[in-house]
Structures are given as structure tokens and as C-alpha cells.
Amino acid sequence: MDDVTPPKLQRRKRRYSPRKPLTQWIEEARARQTDEGCWPWTGLLSKQGYPAAATNGKSPSVRSWELVNGPVPEGLELDHACHSKSACQEGVNCLHRRCINPAHLRPMTREENQRLTAGHRRDRRGKMCTHPRTAEYGYVRPSGAWRCRPCHVARKAAAKRRARNLLDLHIGLGD
């Protein structure tokens, strides 16, 4: 019996395209400038909707700032000046969060930034709650999360309406 050896498996050569430099990403974002002057980042985004592709531990927003203004001062972080409570109601889908225009970024302390964003209170679904956090309007759940009663009642009513509409469609009552 002939000893048949299988032919050598040929491995495909992997072709890696050269990585695009961050400056090129920034220039592409600049080319897509919106009417408000924002440069929307189209790369990876964090769960919160901010540019996430880090280079040497720095976000694209920070790198964009550094290219124009130099390093961010020690102890400060960048805030999106174009992102405001009145202009944006979209939560994590807010296009202002994706902005890497250095003119729309401002350095500030974390405390200042958190104080400014405190007015943007949103629940985990990204919905805006405008009710004050008082005992009259809600309570703190055992998990530590705040529950606004009027918003909770409205969500429950909306869910009930959706369920009723689905049931009506299922049994043929809805048109």
C-alpha cells in the first residue's frame, strides 16, 4: 500500500491594510462638519455615545484638542460645549457627544462637568426626567436608583397601551 501524504496546506497570506492615522480620522470628521460646526466622529463609540477609539490612552476628542491647543491642563477633562440640555434630548444618541471639534471642547474639572450634566437627568432608557428629586415626586429604590413616580406611571401606562394595541391586532380588532 502506498503511503500517501497529504499535500501541504497553503496558508493564505493575510493582508493587513495600514492603520489610518488619527489625524486622517480627524480631517475626515472635519470634512463632515454639521451646520452647528460639529465634527462628528464616525469611528468606535463608547456605551455613552462618546468617541471611544483611544490612542495612547487618549480619546479622539483629547487628541483633537491637543493638535490645536496643546495638552489638556493637569486635573482637567474636556467638556463638549456644543452639548446642551435645551439643544439635545437624545441621550446616548446625541450627535453632540460625537463632536471632536477643538473649538467645541472646553477644559474643566470633573466636579464642574458633573454639576453641568446634573441638569440632564435621564433614566437608564435615555428618557429625560424634568421632575425635581423630592419625596413628593419619587423615592430611592433599595438598589439606590431614583424612581420618579410620574415618569414611572407614564411609562407603565404607555406599556399597557402598547400591549393592548398588540392584543387588538392579534385578535383582529385593530385596523
Q: Are residues 126 and 101 in the same domain?
A: no
Q: What is the pLDDT of residue 129?
A: 73
Q: Are residues 44 and 113 in the same domain?
A: yes
Q: What is the pLDDT of residue 9?
A: 47
For the chain, the average pLDDT equals: 77
Residues of the chain with pLDDT under 50: 1, 9-18
Alpha helices in 39-148 (DSSP H): 60-69, 110-117
Q: What is the pLDDT of residue 103?
A: 92
140 Rama class: left (phi>0) / alpha (psi -120 to 50) / beta: beta
pLDDT tens digits along 21-52: 778 888 888 888 888 888 988 888 887 788 88
Q: What is the pLDDT of residue 72?
A: 92
Residue 106 lies in a domain: yes
Q: Are residues 60 and 73 in the same domain?
A: yes
Q: Are residues 94 and 25 in the same domain?
A: yes
Q: Are residues 105 and 63 in the same domain?
A: yes
Distance of alpha carbon 106 from alpha carbon 69, whole angstroms: 11
Q: What is the pLDDT of residue 17?
A: 40
In sequence order, which residues have a C-beta less than 8 Å from that of residue 123 and are 6 or more positions away?
129, 148, 151
User: The cell 394595541 sits on which residue?
Assistant: 165
| Number of compact structural domains in the chain | 2
Q: Are residues 95 and 135 in the same domain?
A: no
Q: Are residues 103 and 146 in the same domain?
A: no
Q: Are residues 85 and 31 in the same domain?
A: yes
Domain range spanning residue 147?
Answer: 122-175
Residue 53 lies in a domain: yes
Q: Which helix (H) or strand (E) holds 146?
A: strand 146-148
Show which of 120, 142, 159 is a domain's final residue.
120
Q: Are residues 72 and 144 in the same domain?
A: no
With contact defined as beta carbons under 8 Å apart, do 98 and 92 qualify? no
pTM: 0.56
Q: Are residues 111 and 132 in the same domain?
A: no
